[in-house]
């Protein structure tokens, strides 16, 4: 094992201290680039560790943190954002190394995470309540109060930026948060929790980190003193989180789950723009994104031309696969052997689908997969129906708006959709007709902190980003004042 570029925080972080797990079990992480060992001492939180972290969180919530004014919480978030940027290279490397994320993309994610915290810093003293006139003899006041102990269960594909989407609104509204990073990417979250506390930005217990796999997440989801779980991950695990939340103490739940996002290319589109976004939407982060546009529908009249150009651009992307630490690399490996095996499983059996590009592992070493274009897969094909989480896109043709909507909405997912057209009336009709939490017009697989993000159907419950996220971390309390006593 080569010496790591930065120290690897493999312990738990509870109540302002690095501590060892109550379990002697240790886990190993290997590089998906060359299969070398990164760390063989990764710890995971047990029931005793979870109880200790929750108790520390309650103490912090009821103690010094509760005395912070909104302005002070905003200042804390600004300081934390600045601290993230000060340690940008370290945090990016800690997240990127275990899953082979490109350095450029990992650095940008840390920058986006800092932007998210700055955004919510601005909300901390501006999330107002409401009042209604006493025309019936009663003054009505609505206050938005923090929930208490909240938990962020984060995925491995965008660990630090997704963490910030949860941490920002939680702290802005006065909650405390326990971070549960993926077992594949535990280091940056642990390091950030320590940085924030050691720098005196937040009191001990306000931000803690409990690495671990599904068992740790289940302990948190079932805990009777946790008041909110925000989970990003698979549909199957999201269902288990919701069941645990309901069967324990009916804790609040936000779920951001899978996707199989459709995108329509109409004959009147800006051709070059449509090609650009279609390629970007399925290849960034090696296609490992919940809102990747993996179902591409092209109008029949331009299908031959568009598909030929799109396929050629995807072939060019194969040449950009390589060492994720090099500046010229645009596509790194899949996260690990397990993810590689999952993507490969869709191509293991005889398949009548025409493969225009890719469809196989790239090279003999590492977990690289070639950007893949499949043409007109059968309606019941797994590769067309299920989320793959790799750079694999299915292209099908359609005749008109009605046919596109029928195919696009024929899915249990509803996270993201795209429409490429220069007809604004068509764009607005389709944006209304699509079963999707987010619709991009002449763009796709793009989200913005100022607008809510989340899905319909089995893509999730609740919203992150914007002021909508603040609502999910607060409880409205109504105060009625009798003016006639």
Active site residues: 256
Between CA 188 and CA 300 the distance in angstroms is: 47
Angle separating helix axes 103-123 and 159-172, nearest 10 degrees? 10
Tally helices (H) and strands (E) across the chain.
15, 22
Backbone angles phi, psi at 429, to 5 degrees: -60, -45
Between CA 300 and CA 266 the distance in angstroms is: 9
Two structure tokens written together for 280: 């970007």
Element (H, E) at 14: strand 12-14
Angle at 63 (CA atoms; ends 57, 68), nearest 5 degrees? 105
DSSP letters along 420-484, please?
E-S-HHHHHHHHHHS--SEEEES--S---TTS-B--EETTEES-BSHHHHHHTTEEEEEEEEETT
Between CA 166 and CA 154 the distance in angstroms is: 9
Long-range CB contacts for residues 193-196, cutoff 8 Å, separation at least 24: 193/13, 194/9, 194/13, 194/18, 195/83, 195/87, 196/80, 196/83
Q: How far apart are the first and last CA of the chain?
A: 76
Residue in this structure with the two tokens 């459709």, named with its chain if needed: 262
DSSP letters along 19-68, please?
E--SS---EEEE-TTT--EEEEEE----HHHHHHHHHHHHHHHHTGGGG-
CB 313 within 8 A of CB 279: yes
Between CA 449 and CA 374 the distance in angstroms is: 33
Element (H, E) at 18: strand 17-19
């Amino acid at each position: 094992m080569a010496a790591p570029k930065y120290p690897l925080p493999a312990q738990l972080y509870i109540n302002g201290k690095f501590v060892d797990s109550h379990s002697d079990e240790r886990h190993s992480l290997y590089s998906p680039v060359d299969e070398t060992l990164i760390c063989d001492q990764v710890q995971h939180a047990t029931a005793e560790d979870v109880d200790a972290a929750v108790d520390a969180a309650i103490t912090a919530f009821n103690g010094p943190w509760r005395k912070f004014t909104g302005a002070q919480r905003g200042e804390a978030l600004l300081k934390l954002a600045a601290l993230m940027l000060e340690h940008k290279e370290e945090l990016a490397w800690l997240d990127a190394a275990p899953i082979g994320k490109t350095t450029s993309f990992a650095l940008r994610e840390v920058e986006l995470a800092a932007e998210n915290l700055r955004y919510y810093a601005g909300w901390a003293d501006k999330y107002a309540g409401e009042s209604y006139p006493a025309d019936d003899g009663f003054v009505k006041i609505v206050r938005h109060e923090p929930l208490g102990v909240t938990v962020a269960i984060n995925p491995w594909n965008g660990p630090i930026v997704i963490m910030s989407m949860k941490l920002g609104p939680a702290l802005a509204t006065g909650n405390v948060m326990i971070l549960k990073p993926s077992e594949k990417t535990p280091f940056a979250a642990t390091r950030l929790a320590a940085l924030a506390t050691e720098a005196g930005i937040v009191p001990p217990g306000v931000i803690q980190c409990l690495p671990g796999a599904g068992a740790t997440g289940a302990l948190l989801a079932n805990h009777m003193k946790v008041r909110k779980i925000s989970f990003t991950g698979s549909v199957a695990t999201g269902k288990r989180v919701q069941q645990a939340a309901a069967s324990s103490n009916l804790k609040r739940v936000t779920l951001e789950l899978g996707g199989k996002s459709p995108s329509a290319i109409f004959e009147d589109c800006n051709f070059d723009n449509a090609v650009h976004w279609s390629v970007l939407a399925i290849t960034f982060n090696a296609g490992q994104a919940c809102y990747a546009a993996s179902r591409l529908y092209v109008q029949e009249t331009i299908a031959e031309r568009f598909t030929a150009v799109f396929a050629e651009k995807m072939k060019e992307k194969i040449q950009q696969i390589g060492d994720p630490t090099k500046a010229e690399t645009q596509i790194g490996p899949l996260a690990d052997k397990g993810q590689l095996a999952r993507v490969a499983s869709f191509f293991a059996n005889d398949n009548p689908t025409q493969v225009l590009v890719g469809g196989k592992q790239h090279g003999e070493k590492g977990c690289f997969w070639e950007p893949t274009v499949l043409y007109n897969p059968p309606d019941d094909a797994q590769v067309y129906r299920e989320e793959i989480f790799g750079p694999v896109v299915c292209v099908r043709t359609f005749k008109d708006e009605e046919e596109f909507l029928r195919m696009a909405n024929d899915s249990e997912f509803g996270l993201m959709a795209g429409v490429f057209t220069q007809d604004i009336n068509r764009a607005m009709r389709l944006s209304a007709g699509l079963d999707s939490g987010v619709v991009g017009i002449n763009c796709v697989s793009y989200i913005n902190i100022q607008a809510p993000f989340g899905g319909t159907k089995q893509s999730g419950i609740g919203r992150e980003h914007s002021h909508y996220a603040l609502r999910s971390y607060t409880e409205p309390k109504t105060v009625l004042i009798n003016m006639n006593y």
